[in-house]
Amino acid sequence: MRLFRNPQLWLALAKEIWERNRGQNLQQVAASLAFTTTLSLVPMVTVASILLSYLPRVIQIKNAVQNWLLDTYMPGGLNTQVFLYINQFSSKAKGLTLVGSLGLVITTMMTMMVIERAFNQLFRVQKRRPFINKIAIYLTATILGPILLGCGIYLSGLLLSAAEGWTPALTFGLGLFATVAPVFLAVAVYAVAYKYLPYAKILWKDALSGALFAALAFEIMKFGFGFFLTNAVFYKTVYGAFAIFPLALTWIYLTWWITLAGAVLVANLPKIRSGLIRVIRY
């Protein structure tokens, strides 16, 4: 409660956490995850597209997911080009044999393994997760993740479309929901990641606190990065048609940095409650 009454304590808390976690090499870990994500992006999108192809009305669901990601994840000026390249690569990958498709799934799961290892490092986890549990979590995220996300986005789009012509108050309410829904969804995704990715006992309130921080920081970063894209003409002048690649890699790096910063906050919240980290500096 003292944190809410005295905003200066937030700065003291941030400084204390930063000092205690300086050896975690957050920048290097974020850069490593950004590189890994770039290499595995096409396999992950291809696996998700194949899974969505087994759902009814696949074209509408796939387009709904892609349009939602275009509007919410990447800032304008970057999203369309990135998804254009990803769709081109993934469409070619769909012609793979059974062995090739299995390779895509293995690549996706190996990416999750790298992410889990990074989270365990931040949470200072010493024990390893049992192999069976690890595979179960990876398969659940790989198979159910795209399906649940696609169905949820598609049904939300149907609801908003059906709401046109209803009473103005109800239409306004649904429009407001559509505006804030990406933030709530980001909080949910971050919270699940912070809760289940580290092989440690994480309280839901800690996971939600870190998720709220990461989601809000992500929205601020997206606004700032979009402003940068509209004014950074020199990137297009220097790199030309290849400007999309360093910009996309920078965006992925910043996304991972915020994600890891939220994980550091979650890992330190129990220490704050126990008094190992003192936030009173005045």
Digit-coded pLDDT (tens) for 78-136: 666 666 766 666 666 556 666 666 777 777 788 888 888 889 988 888 888 888 888 88
Q: 96 near 83, Cβ under 8 Å?
A: no
Please write the tens of the pLDDT for every residue from 33-92.
888 887 777 677 777 766 666 665 545 556 666 666 666 677 766 666 666 766 666 666
Instruction: Work out how many domains the chain is built from and give that number.
Output: 1
How confident is residue 205, by pLDDT bands cut at 50, 70 and 90? very high
Say what the pLDDT of residue 203 is.
Answer: 93
pLDDT confidence tier of residue 194, bands split at 50, 70 and 90:
very high
Question: According to the per-residue pLDDT averaged within each range, which of 16-25, 145-154, 191-200, 273-282 is highest?
Answer: 191-200
- Give dist(CA 24, CA 15) in Å, integer: 15
Give the CA dihedral 173, 175, 180, 185, nearest 10 degrees: 100
Alpha-helical regions (H) of the chain? 2-5, 8-20, 26-52, 58-72, 79-93, 98-122, 131-162, 168-196, 204-231, 233-239, 244-274
**Side chain identity at residue 137, one-letter code:** I
pLDDT of residue 11: 64
Place of tokens 């000092």: 19
Distance CA(145)–CA(156), nearest Å, equals: 17
How far is it between the farthest Cα atoms of the chain? 65
Q: Give φ, ψ of 82 to 5 degrees.
A: -60, -50
Show the domain range for 166: 8-274
Residue 3 forms part of a structural domain = no
Which of 109, 117, 123, 126 minimizes the C-alpha distance to 207?
Answer: 123
pTM over 0.75? The answer is yes
**H or E segment and range at residue 234:** helix 233-239
Give domain status of residue 1, yes or no. no
Residue with tokens 């939600």: 208
- Rounded to the nearest 5 degrees, what angle is found at the Cα of 192, between the Cα atoms of 187 and 198? 125
pLDDT given at position 1: 45
How far apart CA 198 and CA 73 sit, in angstroms, is 24
Specify whether the CB–CB gap between 236 and 243 falls below 8 A: yes
Domain membership of residue 22 (yes or no) is yes
Q: Is residue 279 part of a domain?
A: no
Decide if 2 is inside a domain: no
If you average pLDDT over every residue of the chain, what do you get?
74
Integer Cα distance of 281 and 272 in angstroms: 14
